[in-house]
Amino acid sequence: MRRYGDFDTAEDAVQEALLAAATRWPQDGVPEEPRGWLVQTASRRLIDQWRSERSRRDREALASRQEPPAHEVYGEDDTLTVLFMCCHPALTPASAIALTLRAVGGLTTAEIASAFLVDEGTMAQRISRAKRTIEASGEPFRPPSPEERPARVRLVLHVLYLIFNEGYTSTAGAELHRAELSDEAIRMARLTHRVLPDDGEVAGLLALMLLIDARRLARTTADGELVPLAEQDRTLWNSAQIAEGTAILDDAMGKPPLGEYRIQAAIAAVHDRAERAEDTDWTQILGLYELLEQLTDNPVVTLNRAVAVAMAEAPEAGLLVLASVDERLAGHYRLDAVRAHMLEMTGDTEGAFLHYRAAASRTTSLPERRYLSMKAAALRQGGTEPPAAA
């Protein structure tokens, strides 16, 4: 669009380019510069289209005026535009994720399918459908207008966070491609940060990803079993990445208004700063959760604040905070898990056992279920009650 200024034609060309990418990359392999290639292909197809529409004289006149710009000059801005398009409000999160990974991430359909545990055909359908949805929306290939921009940036950040989360929460035994997802999310967040350096939440998300990803190796055992934060071997944390994330966060804090990603990143930074679990500054974490709670009306934030209260003050105080979200989080396994932990801290082993068992039966995560079952079993050691099934 920047080169040709023809909205409709540019939009068609990008659609075709995305389609070309989808069909050629599996055969030809991903080009070294997928982003540049995408825009180049779009440009080529535009030229093809015009060749069939104009007279030879017009074509020659047009071609002589065009000069292919250097990759570095336009690559990132146009990639960001493609990213905005992929994170279209009409798409479901799953569709936006798949399309983003395909068009911006440069992953093959097979790689994306493998990461999301579906077969290639299913994933190909999702991506096609996503493209058709964008086509049907009539969205031209251009960056969002100043009015649209904040909402669209939020969408991009959300999709990138979901991709990161998908990669980060996969277990150690999973496919290599799932770790690649977190890396891909970080790469795209870096790109977004480079193009939008004044957006504090973009920087906040990048910092959050770096600070959380830094703990990756310590988070699971080789068998994919869960290692909670308090028990992690912190020598396995990536200190260089922690330093980088902290620096980006510090810089971003100076760009009001403060948002959720930066506060979450700050909480992660406080955890990452502690050499041992017992050195964690829970008072500061508590303050940050209080801030986050003011920004979002989210009971899970209150749940996490309850944990901070239990650690900074006393478990009894934490239990009081929990009571305030009993209704809103009823039946959610994490409420039982957190309550169980706090009851264990107060010495109520019977109550803790019941809630660990309830949490184990309600979680949909296998590693979590094993962890919670073992916690319940440990409390029952020597008792007559059999441990919960793993």
Pick one of 224, 287, 348, 354: the residue that binds other proteins (CB under 8 A): 224
CB 147 within 8 A of CB 157: no
Residue 69 vs 228, nearer CB to other proteins:
228
Burial of 27 (0-12, 13-18, 19+ CB in 10 A): exposed
Stretch that binds other proteins, among 24-32, 142-150, 179-187, 328-336 (CB under 8 A): 328-336
Pick one of 14, 153, 212, 321: the residue that binds other proteins (CB under 8 A): 212
Tell me which residue has tokens 């099934």: 389
Stretch that binds other proteins, among 51-59, 64-72, 164-172, 182-190 (CB under 8 A): 164-172
Pick one of 162, 277, 312, 374: the residue that binds other proteins (CB under 8 A): 162
Least CB distance from residue 281 to other proteins, whole Å?
A: 16
Q: How far is CA 271 from the centre of its chain?
A: 19
Residues making up the chain, counted from first to last: 390
Least CB distance from residue 122 to other proteins, whole Å?
A: 5
Q: Collapsing DSSP states into helix, strand and coil, what is residue 9? A: helix
- Residue 258 to residue 296: CA distance in whole angstroms: 12
Structure tokens at 172: 């150690």
Residue 55 vs 364, nearer CB to other proteins:
364
Structure tokens at 292: 């986050």
Residue 106 vs 167, nearer CB to other proteins:
167
Query: What mask of x and - would describe binding to other proteins in positions 30 to 69, judged by CB under 8 A?
Result: ----------------------------------------
- Residue 43 sits at φ, ψ, to 5 deg, of -65, -45
Least CB distance from residue 266 to other proteins, whole Å?
A: 12
Stretch that binds other proteins, among 14-22, 45-53, 169-177, 231-239 (CB under 8 A): 169-177
CB 390 within 8 A of CB 369: yes
Burial of 136 (0-12, 13-18, 19+ CB in 10 A): exposed
**Interacting residues with other proteins between 141 and 160 (CB under 8 A):** 158
Pick one of 300, 345, 354, 378: the residue that binds other proteins (CB under 8 A): 300
**Interacting residues with other proteins between 173 and 192 (CB under 8 A):** 173-174
DSSP letter string, 31-91? -SSHHHHHHHHHHHHHHHHHHHHS-HHHHHHHHHH--PPPHHHHHHHHHHHHHHHHT-TTS
Stretch that binds other proteins, among 62-70, 161-169, 194-202, 246-254 (CB under 8 A): 161-169
Tell me which residue has tokens 């989210």: 298
Q: Collapsing DSSP states into helix, strand and coil, what is residue 226? A: strand
CB 103 within 8 A of CB 86: yes
Pick one of 64, 235, 364, 381: the residue that binds other proteins (CB under 8 A): 364
Pick one of 15, 79, 81, 220: the residue that binds other proteins (CB under 8 A): 220
**Interacting residues with other proteins between 77 and 136 (CB under 8 A):** 92-94, 116-119, 121-123, 125-126, 129
Q: How far is CA 144 from CA 123, 130, 153, 199, in A?
A: 27, 19, 9, 15
Structure tokens at 232: 């992690």
- Residue 93 to residue 179: CA distance in whole angstroms: 20
Least CB distance from residue 267 to other proteins, whole Å?
A: 7
Stretch that binds other proteins, among 12-20, 238-246, 292-300, 342-350 (CB under 8 A): 292-300
Binding site for other proteins (CB under 8 A): 92-94, 116-119, 121-123, 125-126, 129, 158, 161-162, 165-166, 168-171, 173-174, 212, 219-220, 224, 226, 228-229, 264, 267-268, 296, 298-301, 304, 328, 332, 334, 363-369
